[in-house]
Structure 1
């Protein structure tokens, strides 16, 4: 792949959140001036192949504070549609003349630099890859990489709300046959199913403790250090282990199956029985 390609990392971020409002600018470590968002930017600055880091926030007035924060920190910022995040990504990538895009979200503050470098190297080594994603990695450490050409095809052809909200389902769920997709499977490393995203107060409390344990030793601690800590202090990882992650559902049938799963997990057996008996098989 041409060495002159423009590699742009785009971080989607907004202040609105139903479960943990204003999370992207919450302090991390707790007693510091750093935030969830600044930790992501700081880590991406360590990935030397990336030419530009852009925070893509919404055009809502409640997100003015994100734009102000980014300008104060000299971070490039783009503002666009709140609901159509795919459009926001596409226009941001087009404005910054991206050839390759790395997608991140503002609630995942411990993206692993070594995993990002590995993913970028594989993406550039393989010929004509449109989309790359990591598999079997803790939630919140994922890496997604795609070409601008693939993003444009995604943008022009996505019609469903879930595609526009979650940016990349058109690649891996709707029309994977239209793209050359590369999955880096980390299952061989026997990585446990841990949760490193921040959606709730439990997640944030867990993240603060994790930073208290590891940040002073290495500001850019990664999966290796976290797994070592888990061996020594496994109780820390129980703090947010019961949080259920939202799934991307494309159809009503998928939503019904997800609802049944959640009802069963919460021991809401009467509701589960009613839904099972009354919904079409």
Structure 2
């Protein structure tokens, strides 16, 4: 059955900095469960795109228990994995997120999706990362299946295959960039999980402050009220693309 919009989140156990992080527990759930629960509030189908590695068997088992669809593909050619997942679910448009963002805010994604759908074009690339005002960990990209197919056909560089949207953003001739920004620049905040200290922060936010139940304004208010929390991982440098 065709889907107008799907969310595809990439997930694997072989993170270089913090292996197995998505199945680490904060509160009563794994980070992946928290991530998927928040994505469900966007109101469109969610697909987990993982790898064919044996190490990702536990990801598949968890998703089966949660009744979340899974697509398994190449570990390194993430672009192909996305294209095949989108094709398998007959998606016209794709929201791309990553599973290292357990506290990603559905209200932020919904606002971006409303803008994207209102533009009524298959030549739009919309994100909140190119002109970053949101913290790391709130990242999403929205693009059409047409754009994804173009990238899968034309991307040649290993970096373009690994990071999915590079060819769309730089090489698609008729692509139009749209940007979601917030009125406050909080781009130096880090609410993604890539290191032990990132996990310490996420665990505190979830267990002690009930952040998994908050929308973006609530999360901002919490972190402004407790500036010491953001110091936990402020020294971490984002891995370059």
Helix, strand or coil: the match of 2:47? strand
- 1:230 Cα shift? 2.4
Task: Give the deviation of 1:203 after TM superposition.
Answer: 0.3
Identify which of 181, 184, 190 aligns with 2:180. 184
**Alignment correspondent of 1:202:** 197
| Aligned residues between the structures | 236
Once the two structures are superposed, the pairs formed by residues 1-281 of structure 1 within 5 Å of their partners are 6-29=4-27, 32=28, 34-48=29-43, 50=44, 52-128=45-121, 129-134=123-128, 135=131, 136-172=133-169, 174-175=170-171, 177-186=173-182, 188-215=183-210, 219-248=212-241
Structure 2 counterpart SS, 1:83:
coil
Deviations 1:96-120 (A, max 9, x none): 1001111111110111111111001
SS at match of 2:101: coil
C-alpha separation in 1, matches of 2:174 and 2:235:
37
Distance 1:37 1:22, change over 3 A: same
> Looking at both structures, which has the greater relative contact order when contacts are Cα pairs under 8 Å and sequence separation is at least 6?
2
Q: Give runs of ≥4 in structure 1 deviating > 3 Å.
A: none
Q: CA deviation at 1:189?
A: 2.7
Deviation at 1:127, TM superposition (A): 3.0
TM superposition score normalised by structure 1: 0.80
Give me the whole-angstrom Cα distance separating, in 2, the residues matched to 1:225 and 1:14.
29
Q: Is the 8 A contact 2:92 2:144 kept in 1?
A: yes
- Secondary structure at the residue paired with 1:181? strand
- In structure 2, relative to structure 1, the CA distance for the partners of 1:207 and 1:168 (3 Å cut) is same
State TM-score, norm by structure 2. Answer: 0.92
Aligned mates of 1:16, 1:207 — CA distance in 2: 19
Give the Cα–Cα distance (whole angstroms) in 2 for the partners of residues 176 and 97 of structure 1: 22
Distance (Å, rounded) in 2 between the aligned partners of 1:159 and 1:44: 31
Q: Distance in 1 between matches of 2:228 and 2:136?
A: 18
**Mapped partners of 1:145, 1:40: distance in 2:** 18
